Amino acid sequence: MFQRLKLQILARSLPVALMSIILSFSASASEAIPNRSQLVPPQIAQRSSGSEIEARVYEQLPDLPLENEYVSQETGEVNPNSTLIGRLIRYHIYVKGRPPQYRLDWKLTLADYLGKNELMFEGVYPGSEDLRDNPMMGDREAIRNLTRSQRNALVHTLVSLYNPQYLQLLEEAARTSEPTAEPTFENDPPRQIPQPPRPPQPGDADLLNP
């Protein structure tokens, strides 16, 4: 508003041609300034899509437990939107500060739940501030009850959703590791299969006589 007022004052004293130049420059300068969404780092943009990732994980792995029967402190009712995978993602990104696009980091997070890596603390666990009962112990038990193949599938799904190039890299690695067939040529002579030595026959010794 202040800038418009200044332009109006200038308009009274400047020629029309000069005023048009100033207005065009002001418009181009405002377009050059990035908006807030353009200034958001990729890591923060990835974090903001956690709810979408959570829904897609359950869509691709419907056998995973929801663990969404905890009561909200604010409403006094069950909050069905607070799920195991949602809290797992928030713990991984917000509590531990681990990047979501790498397989090893998700392995470390699951190792936390299994008690084989870093200690977990109820006071900072997702849901501790908005749910009546802290869900950390129940979530750890749910992760422990998953089979190894289920945990591997969970890691694979999370990485592929956060890192779209992950599946392409796996396909390229599989192609490079495939054994190549030995080339054959039409004009090659047939291979000679070695024959076992002939056992001695009666009368062979007579062949040595002069």
Total count of domains within the chain: 1
- Considering the domain boundaries, does residue 23 fall inside one? no
* Structural domain boundaries, residue 159: 43-174
Q: Over 80: is that where the pLDDT of 114 sits?
A: yes
* Confidence at 75, pLDDT banded by 50, 70, 90: very high
Q: Which two tokens stand for residue 15?
A: 């020629």
- Position 30 scores a pLDDT of 43
Q: Average pLDDT, stretch 140-154?
A: 99
Q: Is residue 166 part of a domain?
A: yes
For 41, the token pair is: 């780092």
Please report whether residue 181 resides in a domain.
no
Confidence of residue 161 (pLDDT cuts 50, 70, 90): very high
Average pLDDT across the chain, whole number: 78
- 15 occurs within a structural domain: no
- Packing angle between helix 50-60 and helix 148-162, nearest 10 degrees? 140
Within-domain flag for 5: no
Q: Is the pLDDT of residue 28 over 90?
A: no
CA distance 190 to 173: 36
Predicted confidence (pLDDT) at residue 56 exceeds the cutoff of 70? yes
Is residue 84's pLDDT more than 60? yes
* Domain contains 106: yes
pLDDT at 143: 99
Does residue 96 belong to any structural domain of this protein?
Answer: yes
Write down the pTM of the prediction: 0.62
pLDDT category, 188, cuts 50, 70, 90?
low
**Positive or negative, the Cα torsion across 166, 167, 169, 170?**
positive
* Angle subtended by helix axes 148-162 and 165-177, to nearest 10: 120
Is residue 180 included in any domain, yes or no? no
Please give the Cα distance from 182 to 23 (Å, whole number).
72
> Which band of pLDDT confidence, cut at 50, 70 and 90, is reported for residue 208?
low
pLDDT the model gives residue 152: 98
For residues 81 and 177, which has the higher predicted lDDT (pLDDT)?
81
Q: What percent of the chain is predicted at pLDDT more than 90?
A: 53
